[in-house]
């Protein structure tokens, strides 16, 4: 079994937080949690690892069941993201010459398609919501990022500057800045209001696979196919830390913990690591009740206990590789998306 996209979701305590690991000062260097990583069959990486900060129900184990099947895409789905209020699910198609270059918006509670954005000249790799849910950013193989307004249902800005595919995109918490990473090995910071590049960081020696801000927008974390994780000062653009594992596996995704004291990384050696980046080391997490959900090449979705590494639930129904997973910000809802033989998005509820 090869697994693809992976997310952290709520567990038994009803609250996902890594703040509790801050006191774990006595952890040995190199200690890490091994959970399913995420590999794509074409050798590319999927830029997602989300958390659900507040769930409405609590259970000792997950009990997800299929609620809706969403059909409308004609090519493999590259990215799915819930809006901040959880009412809308955005989806995009995997980069390919034959991709339909569209971004679709769905009603997260009924499964109905709401609208379709069209404007890219190539496939779309990633999407990201602004914190108020009024803007959606899409990153494309056409080397551009488009900002879409949900109020006007149109493109309001086109960000140009990358010299190769734009693979990942994320807003800062205030949504006045945007960070992108691309196959040109750079990380770029953009002024959202003006649509202009503020900084170009020569970040890595291979394509950048994920970028994200910390909770207050002062730091940026990036990772790449070179296996490096780098922490940047968002204002100055200075590289503050470089994290690297001894085996130097390709890093697919990184994200700050809610308190910004740690960085969570997913690598293509099927491992998820929690880093104390100030000390440049992996630390053991003692947080209870965390699950990891992963899409797999066997068309299934696996939900794992982060501590025991036990498989808690297996969801079946897709007919091809599950490339993308999204977790709802408020409720126990997951979305999954699949490849060519299936082309559906499925909404799973734990009620």
Question: For 116-120, 213-217, 308-312, which range has the lowest pLDDT when averaged over its residues?
Answer: 308-312
Residue 52 lies in a domain: no
Residue 38 lies in a domain: no
- State the Cα–Cα distance between residues 241 and 158, nearest whole angstrom: 31
- State the Cα–Cα distance between residues 113 and 107, nearest whole angstrom: 6
The pLDDT value recorded for residue 8 is 55
Q: Could you tell me the pLDDT band of residue 283, with boundaries at 50, 70 and 90?
A: low
Closest of 187, 183, 194, 131 to residue 159, by C-alpha: 194
Question: For 4-8, 15-19, 43-47, which range has the lowest pLDDT when averaged over its residues?
Answer: 15-19
- State the Cα–Cα distance between residues 211 and 189, nearest whole angstrom: 10
Residue 242: beta bridge partners?
Answer: 230
Residue 55 lies in a domain: no
Closest of 143, 253, 275, 246 to residue 197, by C-alpha: 143
Domain that holds residue 116: 6-10+62-350
Residue 204 lies in a domain: yes
Q: Taking all residues of the chain, what is their mean pLDDT, rounded to a whole number? A: 80
Structural domain tally of the chain?
Answer: 1
- pTM for this prediction: 0.80
pLDDT per residue over 31-44, tens digit each? 344 343 333 333 33
Indicate the SS3 state at residue 38: coil
Q: Could you tell me the pLDDT band of residue 133, with boundaries at 50, 70 and 90?
A: very high
Residue 56 lies in a domain: no
Residue 57 lies in a domain: no
Residue 32 lies in a domain: no
- Highest mean pLDDT, choosing among 20-24, 233-237, 265-269: 233-237
CATH number at residue 198: 2.130.10.10
8 A C-beta contact, residue 158 and residue 149: no
Residue 22 lies in a domain: no
């Amino acid at each position: 079994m090869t697994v693809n996209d992976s997310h952290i979701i709520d567990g038994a305590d009803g609250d996902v937080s890594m703040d509790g690991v801050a006191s774990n000062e006595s952890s040995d260097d190199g200690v890490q949690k091994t959970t399913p990583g995420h590999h794509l069959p074409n050798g590319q990486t999927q830029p997602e690892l989300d958390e659900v900060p507040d769930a409405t129900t609590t259970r000792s184990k997950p009990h997800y069941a299929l609620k809706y099947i969403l059909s409308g895409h004609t090519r493999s789905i590259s990215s799915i993201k819930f809006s901040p209020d959880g009412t809308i699910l955005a989806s995009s198609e995997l980069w390919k010459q034959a991709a339909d270059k569209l971004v679709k918006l769905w009603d997260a509670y009924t499964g109905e398609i709401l609208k379709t954005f069209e404007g890219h000249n190539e496939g779309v790799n990633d999407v990201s919501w602004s914190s108020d849910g009024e803007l959606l950013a899409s990153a494309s193989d056409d080397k551009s990022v488009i900002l879409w307004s949900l109020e006007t249902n149109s493109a309001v800005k086109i960000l140009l500057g990358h010299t190769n595919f734009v693979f990942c995109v994320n807003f800062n918490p205030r949504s006045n800045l945007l960070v992108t990473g691309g196959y040109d090995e750079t990380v770029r910071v953009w002024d959202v209001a003006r649509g202009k590049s503020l900084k170009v960081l020569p970040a890595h020696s291979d394509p950048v696979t994920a970028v994200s801000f910390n909770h207050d927008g002062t730091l940026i974390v990036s990772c790449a196919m070179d296996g490096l994780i780098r922490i940047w000062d968002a204002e100055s653009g200075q590289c503050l830390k470089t994290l690297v594992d001894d085996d130097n596996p390709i890093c697919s995704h990184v994200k700050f913990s809610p308190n910004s004291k740690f960085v969570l990384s997913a690598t293509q050696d099927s491992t998820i690591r929690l880093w104390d980046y100030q000390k440049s080391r992996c630390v053991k997490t003692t947080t209870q009740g965390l699950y990891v959900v992963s899409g797999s090449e066997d068309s299934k979705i696996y939900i794992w206990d982060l501590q025991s590494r036990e498989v808690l639930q297996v969801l079946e129904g897709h007919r091809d590789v599950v490339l993308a997973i999204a977790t709802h910000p408020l409720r126990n809802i997951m979305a999954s998306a699949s490849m060519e033989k299936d082309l559906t998005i499925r909404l799973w509820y734990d009620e």
